[in-house]
Amino acid sequence: MITPELMEYIKGELVKGRTREDVRLSLAKDGGWSEIDLSEAFRTVSPAQNIAQNSGPSKISPKLMKIILAVVILAGIGFAVWFYRAPLIKFWNAGIDKISSYFVSDESVETVDTLAQDVQVIMPVVPVSNVVKDCGATDSPDLKNKSTYENNAVLNCLGNSAILCQPAKATLSNSLFPNTFQIIRDQNTGACNFVLSYSADSTLVDITGQKLALQYISCPVSIVKSVNETKIPPIFGSPSIDNLGKYASQIYF
């Protein structure tokens, strides 16, 4: 049976900032009060607080909040990249050309030749061909769906050409992104690059209204990384060169 002293004690402890559960545990453990009496006492002392606690919103855990925040940030970055893709492509291509001019020089080529002679490493000879292999046309792949790239003859052809650095091209059907895929070998440096470009008949435009037809992005094949989106944040690793179709898909994205 509850007493006025019990209710006054509960009121005083709640005013001090103690939680209901803390006060309840203290009274049950040290005071010997039963759960039935304590429940009745709390309902009598603070019925409004009891209703609020039962109907209040559930709390979001800090871990879930971090995941939601990371997803929102990644989504924002992805939208910004897509929205400003044309200026970014131009900026990227200019940067690649400038970096190449720093690293590819007569002095660097001579140093590499000297080291090769000293070490006497026998490298396999890959014949350089000016013939561009036409791998055909297919739908653009989805890295989250294996059926879109596994056993795909067009993507297998592009992946094999990228590994051997043999000129090749293909058309990947996509309503938003570049649909022309090329593997190009620089005749001067031997560097292997991939080029993604919009077709000449593309009707897409950028935010300034400029047509994207024939706009392109070019990068070295050696910088290709795979992305593990199951981790927060995503983890970048080596591409899957053992699966040609998947390798070509990773280059594309």
Mean pLDDT of 224-230: 75
Residue 62 within any structural domain of the chain:
no
For residue 172, list its beta bridge partners.
Answer: 138
Mean pLDDT on 205-227: 82
Whether residue 168 sits in one domain with residue 234 = yes
Kindly report the length of the chain: 253
Tens digits of residue pLDDT in 109-146: 454 455 445 444 444 444 445 688 999 999 888 888 88
Q: What does the block give as tokens for 172?
A: 């990947």
Work out the number of other CB atoms within 10 angstroms of the CB of residue 223: 10
Q: Are residues 81 and 31 in the same domain?
A: no
Check whether residue 16 and residue 98 sit in a common domain. Answer: no
Same domain, 136 and 47: no
Higher pLDDT, 92 or 171: 171
Say if CB 161 and CB 155 are below 8 A apart. Answer: no
- For residues 85 and 187, state if they share a domain: yes
pLDDT score, position 135 = 92
Tokens 């910004």 belong to which residue?
Answer: 80
Please give the Cα distance from 135 to 156 (Å, whole number): 9
Stated pTM of the model? 0.46
**One-character DSSP codes across 115-155:** HHHHHT--PPP-----PPEEEEEEEPP-TT-GGGTTT-HHH
DSSP string, 26-64: HIIIII---HHHHHHHHHHH-HHHHHHHHHSPPPPPHHH
Average confidence (pLDDT) over 6-35: 85
pLDDT digits over 168-197, tens only?
Answer: 999 988 877 788 999 988 888 888 998 888
Determine the pLDDT at residue 102: 56
What pLDDT is stored for residue 29 in this prediction? 82
Tens of pLDDT along 53-86? 444 445 566 777 888 888 888 888 877 777 776 7
Asked if residue 96 and residue 210 are part of one domain, the reply reads yes
Domain count, the chain: 2
Which two three-digit tokens encode residue 136? 């055909």
Domain that holds residue 188: 77-102+131-252
Same domain, 154 and 236: yes
